[in-house]
Structure 1
Amino acid sequence: MQSYRTAPKIHTRRPTALIVLAGIVGFASTAHASEIDTLLFGSLDAGGDTFLTLGAKVGLTSLAQEGFVALATVGGGRRAESGADGPRARYTVAAAALAGHQWFFDWGVVAAYAGLETTSEMLIAGPTRDALPTRFGLRLHGEVWARPTAATLLQATAVAGSARDSLWARLAWGYRLWETYLGPEAALYTDATGYAKWSLGLHGTDFALGRYSLRASVGLQTESRRARACPYVTLSVWSPL
């Protein structure tokens, strides 16, 4: 099992990507294993807001080798806000289709992607529903999975998108115990609405349940519009197709 397989926390989304994702998975399932390698993944982030992401990572050769990689994600979520007329909820559906390359070194793996993203949102305040225009933009996504020593893992991810002028970044360190990396993590998210959140917690990465690999995180999260920190939980699952 590769130590550097992504458990993407990749923020992404929407009907367009559903088509892209279905096409990628369908093509992968009919191709010979030596021709294409596919990793399916999903993640659930629950805290001050909630977001669910599903996706696929596809390599024209083995994902355990250096080369071209495609990434497609789709998801949706909800967060509470305070508007001019009082409390409201913002529902988001989003998607992205990216292409990039991964490089393997003695110390770890670096991956970089670029592509398109789209986002649709609706604001709900009591009986009032306000559908916002669908936005399209560019997305940049970078990852580093490094092993400073044989027993440690350092992982960094950054995702920037122009559809919502958003930025999400995560940094985590782990020490290997019982085939799992355990340690601290910190993450940041911000977008053009003025919303921002910071989180600090503990994670367990790359523990296995059958053919599935998982990452679980727990900690405290602070949002720009909340006076107090609240707990958060993140669960990511990935498995080869």
Structure 2
Amino acid sequence: MVSIAAWRSGRAFRIGLLAGLTSLLAPASPGLAGASSPASLLLFGSLEASPSVFVTTGAKVALDRIDREGFVALGSIGASRRQEGTLNREIATGALVFGYQWFQDWGVVSAYAGPEGMAEAVTGCSCARILPPRFGLRLHGEVWARPSDETLLTATLILGSTRASAWGRLAWGYRIGGAYLGPEAALYLDGTGYTKWNLGLHATDFALGRFSLRVSAGLQQASAREDTSPYVGLTLWTPW
């Protein structure tokens, strides 16, 4: 059985990736920057498949431009469905965080805070139970650094009060064939005692027309499952 926490951690990771990536890569990516395209809005969507399937969509908005220092906001909504024995757990979630991104010669640092909410329902076996919605506060911090011209190092930490949760991810990549390729690792835990770790490989900043994308794959282990299972992920984003 996979906890609801697994979906929230996955979604948090994808939002963190987009927020930092667009800031750090924009000056070097034709689709994200340039005097002729001063984008202030970024649209994104993602799909993650593991023992469960998770879908997320949302937007990042900047007061000026997404590739410049200043105030930014991230809004997202998502849905997932997973099996728990003979039952299904269906989940809807949303968050709206506000923050600021600082640019340095070596990369970008971002910090956000704002409300998060969650609703869920349990169905199956000729029964349906809708649980009361829950709301809380989210804190979100990121560091996106370029140790060299060809490498990318990212670190993300997200804390949420809705489930007393903490999620972190660390990834490194080397620029090969138009994308950053390298390992990624993530760890999630919450107040219910649930934990989950991911260990895999990622390819970040592929170009597909006006879209950019990230693909990843690896193994995950959750405290609610005895076996280690594979995961794959796909995320697309485009300035508007």
Same fold (TM over 0.5): yes
| Pairwise CA distance, 1:136 | 0.8
Describe how 1:105-116 pairs up with structure 2 within 5 A: 105-116=104-115
1:176 shift after superposition: 0.5
- Pick from 43, 48, 52 the counterpart of residue 45 of structure 1: 48
Equivalence for 1:30: none
1:9 to 7, 10, 14: 14
Q: Distance in 2 between the 1:47 and 1:170 partners?
A: 17
**5+ unaligned residues in a row in structure 2: which ranges?**
1-11, 17-36
Q: How does 1:65-76 map to 2 (within 5 A)?
A: 65-76=68-79
Letter in 2 for 1:54: T
User: CA RMSD of the aligned region, Å?
Assistant: 1.9
For 1:82-93, list aligned pairs within 5 A.
Answer: 87-93=86-92
Paired residues of 2:117 and 2:136 also in contact (CA < 8 A):
yes
Structure 1 unpaired stretches of 5+? 1-6, 12-32
Note the C-alpha offset of 1:8: 6.1
Compared CA separation, residues 80 and 169, structure 1 to 2 (3 A): farther
Q: Separation in 2 of the partners of 1:110 and 1:66? A: 10
Separation of aligned partners in 2, 1:156 and 1:125: 39
The change in CA–CA distance for 1:190 and 1:128 in structure 2 (over 3 A counts) is: farther
Answer yes or no: is 1:97 the counterpart of 2:96: yes
Q: Does 2:204 match 1:217?
A: no
Aligned residues: 209
> What TM-score results when the alignment is normalised by the length of structure 2?
0.82
What is the identity, as a one-letter code, of the residue corresponding to 1:104?
A: F
**Letter of the 1:59 counterpart:** A
Q: Distance in 1 between matches of 2:13 and 2:43?
A: 10
* d(CA) in 2 for partners of 1:100, 1:157: 14
CA shift, 1:185, in A, is 0.4
Describe the shift of the 1:112–1:160 C-alpha distance in structure 2 as closer, same or farther (beyond 3 A).
same
Deviation per CA, 1:169-191: give whole Å up to 9, x if none: 21110000122000000112233
Normalising by structure 1, we get a TM-score of: 0.81
Q: Percent identity of the aligned residues?
A: 56
C-alpha contact (below 8 Å) 2:13/2:169 kept by paired residues: no
Q: What is the rounded CA distance, in whole Å, between the counterparts of 1:90 and 1:202 in structure 2?
A: 29
Deviation at 1:239, TM superposition (A): 0.5
Work out the CA distance in 2 between the residues paired with 1:108 and 1:71.
20
Instruction: Check 1:164–1:140 CA distance in 2 against 1; reply closer, same or farther (3 A cut).
Output: same
Measured in 2, the distance between the counterparts of 1:181 and 1:187 equals 18
